[in-house]
Structures are given as structure tokens and as C-alpha cells.
Structure 1
Amino acid sequence: MPVYNKLVRDLIPQVIEKSGSHFSSRILDKSEHLTEIKKKLFEEVQEFTETTNRHDALEELADILELLHAALPVHKATFEELEKIRIAKKEKRGGFEEGIYLIEDEDN
């Protein structure tokens, strides 16, 4: 039996059961949950960097977005609050749409 020791989506236990396999799992406490969300987020970002087509890129971005949604309650925050912060930062410093690549800053 493979050993995973990682955070999985909430319905994975049911998927495994329906396939006739057996598994072991446990519910993480809040601090462990956040730690595992961070690990999983890193894993999904790595997978996103390896995508070579639109479909795979969107699949990985959806996983990243789902992890952001999972992290918010741990911080007692909402997606609306996160979006408000994102918009404020964008208004102050801009977004990343234009692809500006800073090479150097002579004053620093």
C-alpha cells in the first residue's frame, strides 16, 4: 500500500472507498492544517510551473485557488477580504499583467 502523508481533497476518502481500497487518515488540527496547506500549495505551484498547455495550467490554477480558499478560514478571513487586499495592492503598485521584468535599480 502506498504511503502518502499529505493533505488531500475532502472527497478523496470516498473515492478510495468506492474503488474498494482501504486507507487510513486523520483530521489535522488547525496548526497542522495550515502547515499542510502551505506544503500542498508549494506542490501545486511546482506542478503549475511544469504545465505546457492551457488545460493543465487551468487545472493547477484551480488547485491553487482551492488551497487559498482552504487557508482563509484558518486565518479567520474571507475571500472577499483577500480580494479587497489584492485590489488595494493593485491600485497602489499595479498588477502583473504587463510582464514588466526589472533588471536593475541604480539607486539600490
Structure 2
Amino acid sequence: MPKYHKLVRDKIPEIIENQGKKVKIRTLDKKAYHQELRTKLQEEIKEYLNADSSSQSMEELADVLEVIHHLAESHDASFEDVEKVRKEKAEERGGFKERIWLEEVHDD
């Protein structure tokens, strides 16, 4: 019997049960949920970094984005709040479109 001990998407237990298997689950409290979202973000980023194709990369980026949505909520914010901060930072400091690689800074 495999043990997973990890945060999964809401419909995963139902999908597993529809395969004729039994699952044991529990609902995390807010503190544990927030910590497990952070762990899940690391997992999803690692999967993105290991993706072998654009298609697989898009799947993993979608997973990262899903976790970010829920992390925002765990901070009593919305994804729109995160997007607002992102836009403000982009306006103030720019984005990454120009592919600038900083080599050195000299303090004259």
C-alpha cells in the first residue's frame, strides 16, 4: 500500500476511488495547508524545470499557477491582488522581456 503524505488536487481521491481503490485522507488545518502549499510549489517548480517538452512545460506551469492562486488565498488575498503587485513592480522595475543579463556593477 503506497503512502503519499502530500497535498493533492481536490478530485484526486474520487479519481482513485473510481479505479476501485480505497484512499485515506484528512483535511489540513490552515497552518499545515499553507506549509503544504509551499511544499507543493517547490514540487511543481521542480517538475517544470525537469519538463522535456513545451507541452509538458505548459502543464507544469499550469500546476504552478494553480498553487499560486491558492497561496494568495492563504494570505487572505486573491490572484488579482498578486497580479496587481506584479504589474506595479513591472511598471516600476520592468519585466524580463528584454532578456538583460547583468554582468557587473562598478562602484566608482
Q: TM-score range by the shorter chain?
A: over 0.9
Tell me the alpha carbon deviations over residues 46-77 of structure 1, each in whole angstroms, 9 at most, x when there is no partner: 11111121100000000000001111211110
Cα distance per residue 1:16-60 (max 9 Å; x no partner): 110010111110011100100000100110111111211000000
- Give the letter for the 2:67 counterpart: L
| Residue 17 of structure 1 pairs with residue 17 of structure 2 | yes
Q: Write the mapping of 1:39-54 to structure 2, written as runs, cut at 5 A.
A: 39-54=39-54
Which runs of 5 or more residues in structure 2 are unaligned? Answer: none
Aligned mates of 1:27, 1:34 — CA distance in 2: 12
TM-score (norm 2): 0.94
Q: What SS class does the counterpart of residue 32 from structure 1 fall into?
A: helix
> What amino acid maps onto 1:12 in structure 2?
I
Q: Structure 1 segments of 4 or more deviating over 4 A? A: none
1:61 aligns with 2:61: yes
- Root-mean-square deviation (CA), in Å? 0.9
For the residue of structure 2 that corresponds to 1:22, the secondary structure is: coil
In 2, Cα distance between the equivalents of 1:98 and 1:37?
32
User: Could you say which structure has the greater relative contact order, defined with CA pairs below 8 angstroms and 6 or more residues apart?
Assistant: 1
Task: Give, in whole Å, the separation in 1 of the partners of 2:61 and 2:53.
Answer: 12
Distance across 1 between alignment mates of 2:24 and 2:105:
53
- For 1:46 and 1:6, the matched residues in 2 are separated by 15
1:1-108 correspondence to structure 2 within 5 Å: 1-107=1-107
State the shift of 1:102 in Å. 1.5
| Shift in Å, 1:79 | 1.3
Equivalences, count: 107
Q: What amino acid does structure 1 have at the position aligned with 2:8?
A: V
Question: Which amino acid in 2 is paired with 1:52?
Answer: D
Q: Which runs of 5+ in 1 are unaligned?
A: none
TM-score (norm 1): 0.94
Looking at structure 2, the residues matched to 60 and 70 of structure 1 have their Cα atoms a distance apart, in angstroms, of: 16
